[in-house]
Amino acid sequence: MSEVMAQPKVPKLRFPEFADTGRESIIQRHKFDDIFAFSTGKNIKQAEASPEFETPCVRYGELYHIYGEVIREVVNKTNVPREDLHFSSGDEILIPSAGEDPMDIGAASALMSPGVAIGRTINILRPQTQGVYSVGFAAYYINSVLRRKISTLARGSSISNVYNSDLKTLHLNAPSLPEQEKIAKLFGTVDQRIRFLESKRESLAIFKKGVLQRLFSRELRFMRDDGSPFPDWQEKRFSEVLDEHGERSTGAERVHSVSVHKGVIDQIEHLGRSFAAASTDHYGLVKAGDVVYTKSPTGDFPFGIVKQNRLAENVIVSPLYGIFTPETYALGYILNDHFLSVQNIHNYLHQLVQKGAKNTINITNAGFLEGRLTLPIDPQEQKKIAEFLYKLDTKIDAVASQVNAMRCFKKGLLQQMFV
């Protein structure tokens, strides 16, 4: 029997039709072991999964990398013989039982579709009684209320594990099925809006990438205001268009880091605290519009990253970085966006950089300036290109802000509608 309490807690936010004093308004506390039947999937190796194969499947890593609370479309397939697979029967909750991060293993996803192969290291929870529990509601509840609790149940060192026996001890506080379904529908609508905005942001980013490719191949050219063409682009050494001014901290500037995605950013804001030396007198001064080369492997960029300081202030960075003032602010803007591409920065740096012991980068500031790149040489063309890229960036940033706002809205709803 389910454990029932008249009202363990009352959500801060409810639909009006369910917030009365009748039976429909009761929040019931259920032990997982009483309401779910538990099972696990069967092994599907990485090489046995691909969108090109035949049988739809879900593997455990996809639950925290790809899917949200509801699996609306299965993205992967497998070629494992059907007799060696475990198939969903529909209306089940999938929770990964293993992950490098304990928080990963609390990532619940509702799978409504039958006939989907479920991989190993996935805990499968199916309501024992039909017409009482919404798996969509349960998945949102688990991710919002129980995810941290599940992470504390994890065992293991490099890989954390949570088993069905652990999950059986958890509790679900649920209203009536109609209210569960209405809550799940609401969050489904919010998720749909988030997916739309994320798709819009991705489309704009792809469009911008295509524009940059066409610009640097000279397939796309801007014209002067009178309709006449700008002069041809020319191959230039960076030493011809970038100047290493060599100025140091005055003591008035804040310490900044350089990030792949955020560019030049306050170190405390980016990393949570300052890692600067006791004295920053020897730190490099980065003026507004300057270009910074990090000279250290970062993520997908084994030769380092190149970013423009787009802040309206002078800042300081580690003395290990190269700092250069571009011929024009617009040219610095163009270089920043050109080097967003892993391939572009590799093409420029791989012949200039020597890799040392422990994957260190050996390149001087002068060596960085020895490379060549074909660039627009007319300042007015540089300005037109930079202004166009800026407008695209503004649109991308606006959509990104909308995504963040919707995620915050969802988080707030989750906090208020679940107890």
**369 and 241 both lie in a single domain:** yes
Mean pLDDT is highest, among 129-133, 157-161, 233-237, for 233-237
Among residues 150, 174, 198, which one ends one of the domains? 174
**157 and 181 both lie in a single domain:** no
**186 and 256 both lie in a single domain:** no
- Collapsed DSSP state (helix, strand, coil) of residue 397: helix
**348 and 413 both lie in a single domain:** no
Q: How far apart are CA 238 and CA 295, in angstroms?
A: 16
pLDDT at 5 over 80: no
**396 and 340 both lie in a single domain:** no
CATH number assigned to the domain comprising residue 286: 3.90.220
Residue at 86 is within a domain? yes
**33 and 170 both lie in a single domain:** yes
Average pLDDT over residues 155-183: 91
CATH number assigned to the domain comprising residue 215: 1.10.287.1120
| Residue-level pLDDT at 230 | 97
Among residues 174, 209, 244, which one ends one of the domains? 174
Q: How far apart are CA 28 and CA 365, in angstroms?
A: 66
CATH number assigned to the domain comprising residue 140: 3.90.220.20
**101 and 213 both lie in a single domain:** no
Identify whether the C-beta of residue 294 lies closer than 8 Å to the C-beta of residue 316: no
pLDDT in tens, 188-241: 999 999 999 999 999 999 999 999 999 999 999 999 999 999 999 999 999 999
Q: How far is CA 203 from CA 195, 227, 260, in A?
A: 12, 30, 20
DSSP H or E run through 263: strand 263-266
Residue at 201 is within a domain? yes
**335 and 396 both lie in a single domain:** no
Minimum mean pLDDT range among 262-276, 347-361, 366-380? 347-361
**366 and 415 both lie in a single domain:** no
CB atoms within 10 A of CB 249: 21
Q: What is the mean pLDDT of the chain?
A: 92
Domain carrying residue 245: 234-375
Average pLDDT over residues 116-136: 94
Q: How far apart are CA 58 and CA 93, in angstroms?
A: 12
Residue at 9 is within a domain? no
Residue at 412 is within a domain? yes
| Residue-level pLDDT at 340 | 96
Q: How far apart are CA 134 and CA 127, in angstroms?
A: 9
Average pLDDT over residues 397-416: 97
Length of the chain: 419
**32 and 168 both lie in a single domain:** yes
CB atoms within 10 A of CB 381: 21
Structure tokens at 151: 């992470």
**35 and 158 both lie in a single domain:** yes
Which ranges of 288-378 would DSSP assign to H, the alpha helix? Answer: 329-338, 342-349, 365-368
CB atoms within 10 A of CB 341: 15
pLDDT at 25 over 80: no
| Residue-level pLDDT at 159 | 83
Residue that wins the pLDDT comparison between 110 and 275? 110
Model confidence at 1, pLDDT cuts 50, 70, 90, reads very low
Average pLDDT over residues 29-44: 95
Residue at 289 is within a domain? yes
Q: How far apart are CA 306 and CA 334, in angstroms?
A: 11
Residue at 3 is within a domain? no
**105 and 209 both lie in a single domain:** no
Residue at 8 is within a domain? no
**Residue 116 CB burial class (10 angstroms; 0-12, 13-18, ≥19):** buried
Residue at 4 is within a domain? no
Q: Per the structure, how many domains does the chain have? A: 3
